[in-house]
Chain A
Amino acid sequence: MSNITKGRELTFSILKYNPRDPESRPRFVEFKMYETTGMTLFIVLSKIREEMDADLSFDFVCRAGICGSCGMLVNGKPLLACRTLTADYPDGNIQIMPMPAFELIKDLSVNTGKWMDAMSMRVESWIHTNEVHDISALEDKVDPDIADETFELDRCIECGLCITSCGTALMRPDFIGPAGLNRVARFQIDPHDNRTNEDFYELVGDDDGIFGCMTLLACEDHCPKHLPLQQKIAYMRRKLVSVK
């Protein structure tokens, strides 16, 4: 047991704050820990909670970059903590903050769900059609390329990294954000949805919608699923600017 070499010592500076506790003050708290191979921030935070600070709040579900519940600001960059390796920080100093733009629950835990629900309602994130379907009959065929394009945009995991990285969304909380515009594009492309561009204009044809976007493109650069946000937001802008 004697000669297991210790990894380097890492220093974590973590923002702690409970907005519901009147006594609580926002502050950075430092934790130190030795690195192990393949260490992710999920491992780090779990260890901190188990061994150093049982009060620390954060969210993880899938631990595999699928569920989108572990978005945080790591040294200023919006990242999925479960997919973030400590090895990527050569100086061993890692600062972790909760994502701005979302309601802070406590420490690193934010309510992305509430935001995403409101967004889904706002863009009416479901197929709109008047067609009556006979569920025993074969479905209509969809051009495979269009299906691919739709499913590509459906890969959004609602992690909120794009919203947190978007300066416009931070400045203007009513802004529908990249995830919202991506969602609109998804239904605009989907042939099952009978909504016209005029209909989509009613949803996002204003300065809280597509015309509020200032093309900062931080969404494009931080989406962990590499969704084509730059391209699709430009696409929606072209479509909606030409609505009569």
Chain B
Amino acid sequence: MSNIIEGYLGVTPDTRKSRLPARLDWWQSATGLFLGLFMWGHMFFVSTILISKDFMYQVTRFFEGSFIFDEPKPILVSMIVFIVFAIFIVHAALALRKFPTNYRQYKIMKTHTVVLNHDDTKLWFVQAYTGFAMFFLGSIHLYTVMTQADKIGPYASADRVVSDWMWPLYILLLLAVELHGSIGLYRLAVKWGWFDGKNPKAARKRLKKIKWAVTVFFLTLGFVTLAAYIKIGIEHKDNYGERYHPSKIVKMPSCCLHQGGVV
């Protein structure tokens, strides 16, 4: 009953405003924070290919549970991706509340962004566009990795990028993620005043600088990494589907030594 009352009248039976808008605002921030930080970690993992194929292989094996199991357990990766996918969907749903939802709203916001020429307002538009793009780009990637978690590795990933034609999607996704993520984390910090200190204006300037540094860093790292996979993928085209076998024992913490890296 209280649901119906609030639904139609806009107040709960005790004539209070619903606490849900507060919760939604909080969850939008929380899921955004998680996804933003997750993407930093993710970028470091995939970029291990720049160090060596062996190292990337070991990192992959680690996520497949090499620290506990002898056999690779890609289901562990699937489970992590499932959780990330769920958070991603929740974040997208909550962020929808902020989108322009009709012609008039879009038109005035677009005009305003151009006319006002204000940095953070323009960045918001970038966030809206990249967020929209990721509904699709992100979903494709997440679903693929979730259902094919056994096909991650120096060759398998490179094959996916090149022979399975994922590289165009990855270029777009990389741009979208890095822009959206760094802008989003910056906005989160100023939105809640986390680093305000004594002088919030100065803090914001600093955060903005850091934001740009982070964007440039991760975009560079991302594109160099993608290039590395593309190179491997092209070289490996004729052996599509063949899995990587590590060339030497890579030094791992003792707990993982029995895995040895020699398969």
Q: Which of A47-73 contact B (CB under 8 A)?
A: 73
Is residue B248 contacting chain A, with contact meaning CB distance below 8 A? no
How distant is the Cα of A165 from the Cα of B118 in the complex, in angstroms? 9
Beta-carbon contact of B124 and A214 below 8 Å: yes
Is residue A217 contacting chain B, with contact meaning CB distance below 8 A? yes
Q: Which residues of B contact A202 (CB under 8 A)?
A: 16-17
Q: Which of B64-113 contact A (CB under 8 A)?
A: 97-98, 100, 105, 108-109, 112-113
Q: Which residues of A contact B118 (CB under 8 A)?
A: 165, 216, 218, 221-222
Interface segment, B148-156, B196-204, B251-259?
A: B196-204
Q: With contacts A205-B21, A211-B24 known, is A216 near B200, CB below 8 A?
A: no
How distant is the Cα of A220 from the Cα of B21 in the complex, in angstroms? 24
How distant is the Cα of A177 from the Cα of B113 in the complex, in angstroms? 17
In the complex, what's the smallest C-beta–C-beta distance from B222 to chain A, in angstroms? 26
Q: Which residues of B contact A222 (CB under 8 A)?
A: 118
Residue of A nearest to B118 (CB): A218
In the complex, what's the smallest C-beta–C-beta distance from A191 to chain B, in angstroms? 22
How distant is the Cα of A167 from the Cα of B113 in the complex, in angstroms? 8
Q: Which residues of B contact A93 (CB under 8 A)?
A: none
Interface segment, A23-31, A37-45, A179-187, A226-234?
A: A226-234
B interface footprint on A83-106 (CB within 8 Å = 1, 0 otherwise): 000000000000000001000000
Q: Which of A194-244 contact B (CB under 8 A)?
A: 198, 201-202, 205-207, 211, 213-218, 220-222, 228, 230-231, 234-235, 237-238, 240-241, 243-244
Beta-carbon contact of B193 and A238 below 8 Å: yes
Is residue A19 contacting chain B, with contact meaning CB distance below 8 A? no
Q: Which residues of B contact A217 (CB under 8 A)?
A: 120, 190, 204
Q: Which residues of A contact B100 (CB under 8 A)?
A: 171
Is residue B180 contacting chain A, with contact meaning CB distance below 8 A? no
Beta-carbon contact of B116 and A237 below 8 Å: no
Q: Which of A88-126 contact B (CB under 8 A)?
A: 100
Q: Which residues of A contact B16 (CB under 8 A)?
A: 198, 202
Is residue A8 contacting chain B, with contact meaning CB distance below 8 A? no
In the complex, what's the smallest C-beta–C-beta distance from B29 to chain A, in angstroms? 9
Residue of A nearest to B120 (CB): A217
Choose among B24, B112, B117, B187 the residue that contacts A167 (Cβ–Cβ < 8 A): B112
Is residue B192 contacting chain A, with contact meaning CB distance below 8 A? yes
Beta-carbon contact of A230 and B201 below 8 Å: yes
Beta-carbon contact of A231 and B17 below 8 Å: no
Q: Which of A76, A170, A216, A230 has the most CB of B within 10 A?
A: A216
Choose among B22, B105, B124, B196 the residue that contacts A172 (Cβ–Cβ < 8 A): B105
Q: With contacts A171-B109, A238-B193, A240-B22 known, is A218 near B117, CB below 8 A?
A: no
10 new A-B contacts, CB < 8 A, other than A214-B124, A231-B193, A234-B190, are: A77-B116, A100-B112, A171-B100, A202-B17, A205-B17, A211-B25, A213-B191, A231-B200, A234-B191, A243-B22
Q: List 8 A-B contacts (CB under 8 A).
A: A77-B116, A165-B116, A171-B100, A171-B108, A205-B17, A214-B98, A217-B204, A234-B190
